């Protein structure tokens, strides 16, 4: 392979100066006690997945694809294929460690522009080859699994070559990006214009603009910058029926908003090639600070009050006491004891950490907005922890995926899941998910640690994000989590309580459907909704080559 094209094997998260790659030994010991294992297991015997099966890409297809892309931009190299085999869910990580079956694409196409993407799709239609659009590969719901959907071969269509900032319109505050542009690269390019997108999910180091749009991502600062779909002014897709452009105005009443079909389509209806995004001036002042509220109810009410008063900080994030206590404990030593004493002295029995992160154009703006927010917050009697607690969160904000690898090495099953619901049903939703997880994961000496936070708040409701830690069930690694996840999803879908005819929340607030949530989609959008999606797919992708097995339960 020639230089300049990135065929690298994706593996673990690269070390990053600012982030904590390893949990200290004392933290591991503490966690071990906390989740009820006499000791957390030492790293297992698992290693790497084996060599993938030989490619089944037909020779004629390979020749045609090579003619479109050149030799450089098509590869069947085993390492490159393994590198695009799946995403980053706990099950994916287990697959990469040799558990279960790893679905590996037969070849990787790395087109350099939208026209090549279009031609690759048309070629794959002719040869009836499945196509998995591939951005940063950070899906945690099976969204980039190399499923072939009954086709003879499956191609991973890696969009990393579409990584340009095509244009900036500073007057309209719009920027047009190639869909393969990585989030941090996009921010670097915008910074040169004094602009920012402000979309910073935990996957930001790797995830792509196209991936964000295809999955309806929400970033950690969504309370200020909006969900990714709110930022999308226009889109270009390559589809088996030809290129498609959408979005000509800031708002429209010209029929249903078809951009909403591309957003969240997860590569099943077309391949995003270009995204026009609303951008904002780079903030000149940032401030992250922590508060503690006593009890989940009061914490949740405080976030609701901020959301309904329209004075959320860009980052607004409330951890329940389980999550708060873990984050305090992992600080370790004297600092934790002192903090607990400080909070007890102020009457806090169940500390719920609230992190507020402000981005502003000036100190005056920050002061003004912050005063309004603290004014609303006051009646919930917050205990201020100052900027140290806020900065601690900010430093660790991308650390989750790295700590997950470390915990996996130490024999811990660690995974997250998320949902959202309206405020009046949020407690019921949270209780249902926690009960389902606890019931499923308890036993055999194991007691799961279930943490929860709100990271995205709206006037009408909020997201709930759960992090689960439990000792791995040796010999049943995959089944352990599959059953727990299924129980949680059934609870969200409203199936665990016969008196409930409707979902308690959405099956996913910002992780998309992929393969993992597909069985629960019908509960949310109805059989008619599923049929609408199916017919829509048939219209745009008549032979069903696009990302088979994702989004639709039976596609």
> Interface residues for a second copy in 302-361 (CB under 8 A)?
304, 308
User: Residues 269 to 288: which contact a second copy by CB under 8 A?
Assistant: 278, 280
Q: Is 511 in the site for a second copy (CB under 8 A)?
A: yes
Which of 373, 211, 213, 377 has the alpha carbon at shortest distance from 292?
377
Q: Which of 505, 544, 548, 549 binds a second copy (CB under 8 A)?
A: 505
Q: Cβ 304 to a second copy, closest distance in Å?
A: 8
Q: Cβ 347 to a second copy, closest distance in Å?
A: 26
* 421, 429 contact by CB (below 8 A): yes
φ and ψ at 463, to 5 degrees? -85, 155
* 494, 504 contact by CB (below 8 A): yes
User: Other C-beta atoms within 10 Å of 473: how many?
Assistant: 17
- Of 353 and 521, nearer to a second copy (C-beta) is 521
Annotated catalytic sites, by residue? 465
Strands (E), 295-434: 315-319, 351-360, 383-385, 412-422
Q: Which of 75, 138, 506, 547 binds a second copy (CB under 8 A)?
A: 506
Q: Cβ 297 to a second copy, closest distance in Å?
A: 12
Tell whether residue 134 is among the known ligand binding residues. Answer: yes
Compute the half-sphere exposure of residue 111: CA atoms within 13 Å on the CB side of its CA: 29
User: Residues 208 to 227: which contact a second copy by CB under 8 A?
Assistant: 215-218, 227
Q: Cβ 372 to a second copy, closest distance in Å?
A: 7
Rounded CA separation 390/394 (Å) = 6
Rounded CA separation 34/470 (Å) = 9
Q: Cβ 525 to a second copy, closest distance in Å?
A: 6
Q: Is 554 in the site for a second copy (CB under 8 A)?
A: no
φ and ψ at 418, to 5 degrees? -150, 160
Q: Which of 337, 338, 372, 388 binds a second copy (CB under 8 A)?
A: 372
- Of 50 and 250, nearer to a second copy (C-beta) is 250
Rounded CA separation 248/271 (Å) = 19
Here's the x/- map for a second copy, 14-43, by CB under 8 A: it reads as ------------------------------
Residues pairing with 3 in the sheet: none
Give residues with Cβ within 8 angstroms of 420, minimum separation 6: 456, 461, 462, 463, 464, 505, 506, 509
Q: Which of 456, 469, 515, 549 binds a second copy (CB under 8 A)?
A: 456
Tell whether residue 139 is among the known ligand binding residues. Answer: yes
Give residues with Cβ within 8 angstroms of 332, minimum separation 6: 24, 26, 27, 30
- Of 95 and 304, nearer to a second copy (C-beta) is 304
Q: Cβ 188 to a second copy, closest distance in Å?
A: 22
Question: How far from the centroid of its chain's Cα atoms is residue 549's Cα?
Answer: 19
* 14, 87 contact by CB (below 8 A): no
Tell whether residue 369 is among the known ligand binding residues. Answer: no
* 290, 348 contact by CB (below 8 A): no
Which of 204, 155, 215, 209 has the alpha carbon at shortest distance from 180?
209
Q: Is 202 in the site for a second copy (CB under 8 A)?
A: no
Tell whether residue 198 is among the known ligand binding residues. Answer: no
How many residues bind a second copy (CB under 8 A)? The answer is 84
Q: Is 532 in the site for a second copy (CB under 8 A)?
A: yes
Q: Is 265 in the site for a second copy (CB under 8 A)?
A: yes
- Of 244 and 495, nearer to a second copy (C-beta) is 244
User: Residues 425 to 444: which contact a second copy by CB under 8 A?
Assistant: 425
- Of 387 and 460, nearer to a second copy (C-beta) is 460
Residue 249 CA: distances (Å) to CA of 172, 200, 246: 11, 25, 10
Q: Which residues of 227-255 are buried (b: 16+ CB within 10 A; e: fewer)?
A: bbbebbbbbbbbbbbebbebbeeeeeeee
Compute the half-sphere exposure of residue 507: CA atoms within 13 Å on the CB side of its CA: 25
Segment contacting a second copy by CB under 8 A, of 22-30, 117-125, 155-163, 423-431: 423-431
**DSSP H helical segments within 70-158, as ranges?**
78-83, 90-96, 114-127
Question: How far from the centroid of its chain's Cα atoms is residue 308's Cα?
Answer: 26
Q: Is 266 in the site for a second copy (CB under 8 A)?
A: yes
User: Residues 233 to 252: which contact a second copy by CB under 8 A?
Assistant: 233, 239, 241-242, 244-246, 248-252
* 440, 487 contact by CB (below 8 A): yes
Q: Cβ 246 to a second copy, closest distance in Å?
A: 6
Q: Is 423 in the site for a second copy (CB under 8 A)?
A: yes
Q: Cβ 493 to a second copy, closest distance in Å?
A: 9
Q: Which of 129, 312, 413, 420 binds a second copy (CB under 8 A)?
A: 420
- Of 85 and 512, nearer to a second copy (C-beta) is 512
Q: Is 486 in the site for a second copy (CB under 8 A)?
A: no
Tell whether residue 252 is among the known ligand binding residues. Answer: no
Q: Which of 8, 26, 39, 422 binds a second copy (CB under 8 A)?
A: 422
User: Residues 153 to 172: which contact a second copy by CB under 8 A?
Assistant: 169, 171-172
Tell whether residue 240 is among the known ligand binding residues. Answer: no
Q: Which of 133, 178, 210, 421 binds a second copy (CB under 8 A)?
A: 421
Q: Cβ 462 to a second copy, closest distance in Å?
A: 7
Rounded CA separation 460/423 (Å) = 6
* 122, 142 contact by CB (below 8 A): no
- Of 141 and 413, nearer to a second copy (C-beta) is 141
Which of 244, 202, 235, 195 has the alpha carbon at shortest distance from 221?
202
Binding-site residues for substrate sit at 404
Q: Binding site residues for FAD, as ranges?
A: 133-139
């Amino acid at each position: 392979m020639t230089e300049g094209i990135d065929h690298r094997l994706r593996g673990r998260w690269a070390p990053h100066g600012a982030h904590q790659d390893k949990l200290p030994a004392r933290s591991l010991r503490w966690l071990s006690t906390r989740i009820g294992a006499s000791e957390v297991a030492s790293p297992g015997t698992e290693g790497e997945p084996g060599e993938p099966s030989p490619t089944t890409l037909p020779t004629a297809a390979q020749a045609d694809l090579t003619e479109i892309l050149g030799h450089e931009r098509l590869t069947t190299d085993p390492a490159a294929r393994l590198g695009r085999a799946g995403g980053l869910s706990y099950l994916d990580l287990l697959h990469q460690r040799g558990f279960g079956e790893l679905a590996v694409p037969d070849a990787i196409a790395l087109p350099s522009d939208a026209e090549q993407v279009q031609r690759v799709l048309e070629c794959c239609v002719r040869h009836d080859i499945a196509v998995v659009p591939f951005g940063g590969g950070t899906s945690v719901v099976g969204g980039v699994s190399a499923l072939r959907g009954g086709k003879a071969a499956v191609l991973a269509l890696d969009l990393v070559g579409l990584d340009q900032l095509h244009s900036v319109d500073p007057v309209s505050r719009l920027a047009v990006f190639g869909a393969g542009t990585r989030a941090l690269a996009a921010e670097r390019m915008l910074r040169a214009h004094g602009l920012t997108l402000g979309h910073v999910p935990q996957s930001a180091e790797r995830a792509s603009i196209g991936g964000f749009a295809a999955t309806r991502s929400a970033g950690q600062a969504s309370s200020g910058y909006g969900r990714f779909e709110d930022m999308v002014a226009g889109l270009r897709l390559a589809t088996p029926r030809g290129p498609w452009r959408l979005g000509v105005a800031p708002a429209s009443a010209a029929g249903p908003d078809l951009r909403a079909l591309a957003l969240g389509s997860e590569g099943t209806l077309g391949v995003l090639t270009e995204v026009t995004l609303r951008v904002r001036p780079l903030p000149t002042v940032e401030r992250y600070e922590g508060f503690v509220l006593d009890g989940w109810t009061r914490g949740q009410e405080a976030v609701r009050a901020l959301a309904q008063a329209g004075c959320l900080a860009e980052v607004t994030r409330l951890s329940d006491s389980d999550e708060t206590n873990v984050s305090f404990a992992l600080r370790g030593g004297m600092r934790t004891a002192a903090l607990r004493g400080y909070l007890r002295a102020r009457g806090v029995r169940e500390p719920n950490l609230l992190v507020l992160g402000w981005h502003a154009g000036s100190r005056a703006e920050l002061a003004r907005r912050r005063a309004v927010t603290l004014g609303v917050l006051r009646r919930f009697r917050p205990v201020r922890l100052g900027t140290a607690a806020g900065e601690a969160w900010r430093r660790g904000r991308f650390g989750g995926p790295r700590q997950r690898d470390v915990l996996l090495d130490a024999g811990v099953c660690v995974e997250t899941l998320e949902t959202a619901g309206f405020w009046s049903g949020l407690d019921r939703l949270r209780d249902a998910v926690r009960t389902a997880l606890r019931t499923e994961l308890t036993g055999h000496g194991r007691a799961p640690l279930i943490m929860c936070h709100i990271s995205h708040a709206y006037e009408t409701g909020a997201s709930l994000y759960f992090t689960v830690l439990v000792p791995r069930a040796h010999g049943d690694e995959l089944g352990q989590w599959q059953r727990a996840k299924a129980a949680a999803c059934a609870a969200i879908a409203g199936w665990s309580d016969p008196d409930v005819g409707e979902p308690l929340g959405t099956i996913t607030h910002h992780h998309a459907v992929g393969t993992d949530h597909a069985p629960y989609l019908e509960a949310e959008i109805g059989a008619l909704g599923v049929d609408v999606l199916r017919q829509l797919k048939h219209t745009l992708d008549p032979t069903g080559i696009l990302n088979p097995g994702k989004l639709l339960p039976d596609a």
